Amino acid sequence: MAVLEALEAWHWLVLGLILLGLEALGAGGFLLGAAAAGILLSLLMWIWPEMAWSLQLMVFALSAVLFTVIYWRGFRRFNQATEQPQLNDRAAQLVGRVLVLEHDLLPGEGKIQVGDTLWRARTEQPLAAGSRVRIVASDGMVLQVEAAQ
């Protein structure tokens, strides 16, 4: 209890900066709200240094939740906007690619070689080894292929 009663503005500033540093290591936005709350509380403590420790903890908790919700509602969509929406979707990046089959592919689901990777593939018609196929779609990690003209 004595430790909590001795909380000062610089304690909250240090906590906020530590949380900000941990966020920089890759927390994905999870610690931003708590870091902002710690910094806000340090500013409030410089204005009102006699604030009770229970009120400090309550202000910290409420502002951490508020800042986190604000981040997840508004800024997260903005931060994740990209000019390459298929950047981490390897299967979608292959759509449109034409390749030569190394093995026969029967109707239904089978496997095809794309570069050095073996992919699951789905087709409606039988395709013989040596024929050219085009990847026309992806469903998760399954490629939809058809004969290329």
In what order do the strands lie in the sheet containing 142-147?
A: 98-100, 132-139, 142-147, 117-123, 108-114
Q: Write out pLDDT tens, residues 83-94.
A: 766 667 788 889
Q: Write out pLDDT tens, residues 56-74.
A: 999 999 999 999 998 888 8
Q: What is the pLDDT of residue 33?
A: 92
Q: Which residues touch 46 (CB under 8 Å, ≥6 apart)?
A: 9
Of the candidates 133, 140, 75, the residue with the CA atom closest to the CA atom of residue 101:
133
- Tell me what the mean pLDDT of segment 40-53 comes to: 91
**Where residue 78 falls among pLDDT bands split at 50, 70, 90?**
low
CA torsion through residues 48, 53, 56, 60, sign: positive
Contact 23, 32 (CB under 8 A): yes
